[in-house]
Amino acid sequence: SENDEYNKSERETSTARVPECNPAPEPIKRKLKLRSTFYVFIFYPKSLISAWEEFDKQFQSENDHPRIFNSYQHYLLLAFEDGGTDLEKYVSNISQAYSIIYQVITALSVAEHRLSFEHRDLHCGNIMIKNVEAYYADCKINLLTHGVELKIIDFTLSRMSKGTSTIFFDLAKDNEIFSGENCLQFDIYRAMRKANMNNWFPFYPVTNVMWIIYLVRYVYDSLVNKNIGSHRERQIFIHHFRDLHRFGNSHSFISLHSRI
């Protein structure tokens, strides 16, 4: 079976609890830790400009060159833990491909339940991955990490609620994001807008499912392009997630696949 194919390799286990089974507020470790913050009002340091240019030379940054800012610019610096490599540059084997997708689904499931959370921008550049060897001691959902740990970043467009407070970014005021072409990422933005009728305040967890579908397709295409695994293994992978579009939230999917 599909699951047997996935379970063949040696297990390295990361875990999380399904919210309905465990109402206690245990955190799920799928976001980067913020180490410190700084408010800065200085000239942009030459060393940082050089670092930015070196990064741009190697990876072609999508951000503006820091030289566009004048000497009166104020900056907020956020220092995070090292999250590893983004998904754009990291897909190495079939087992890790399953693990990456299930770690995303589990993290979103918990966040949906606890914070009525939607990420709304979960493209491949916002998934950070690093190699790990540690075992995690929890017991409800066993995820086969296969040596990789995933972190989700960039909550600029996200929506979440706690108590009577709701935080969200009103994408109705940013039409440019919906105008991209020839890329599934931009199709997802438009699909979200259609699902919530361009009202970005309410909670529509189906948007998380849309991004999971995007990530499955992205990982599958990476496997094909890099010729990772056999043709049959790649087909089993994409077939395993074939019914994602039938679910209205992440939790309902993970509840049916809590033992993979």
User: Which amino acids are annotated catalytic?
Assistant: 121
CB contact at 8 A, 116 and 146: no
Amino acid at 59: F
CB contact at 8 A, 157 and 26: no
Strands 148-152 and 165-167: unpaired
Burial class (CB in 10 A: 0-12, 13-18, 19+), 8: exposed
Alpha carbons 101 and 219: distance in angstroms, whole number: 9
Give DSSP secondary structure letters for 14-41: EEE--GGG--S------BPPEEEEEEE-
User: What is residue 141's three-state secondary structure?
Assistant: strand
Alpha carbons 160 and 59: distance in angstroms, whole number: 32
User: What is residue 143's three-state secondary structure?
Assistant: strand
